[in-house]
Amino acid sequence: MKIKITADSTCDLSEELLKKWDIALMPMHILMGEDSYLDGVTVHPADVFAYVNRGGKMPKSAAANLVEYTEFFAPFAKEPPRRWRACRPIFSRKQVSFGATRYTTGTQ
On the question of pLDDT at 1 being above 90, the answer is no
pLDDT digits (tens, 9 = 90+) for 72-102: 888 887 776 555 555 545 444 444 554 555 5
pLDDT in the model for residue 46: 94
Instruction: Return d(Cα 48, Cα 56) in angstroms, integer.
Output: 9
User: Which of 53 and 78 is assigned the larger pLDDT?
Assistant: 53
For CA atoms 3, 98, 26, 87, the dihedral sign is: negative
The Cα angle at residue 2 between residues 19 and 75, in degrees rounded to 5: 70
Percent of the chain scoring above 70 in pLDDT: 71
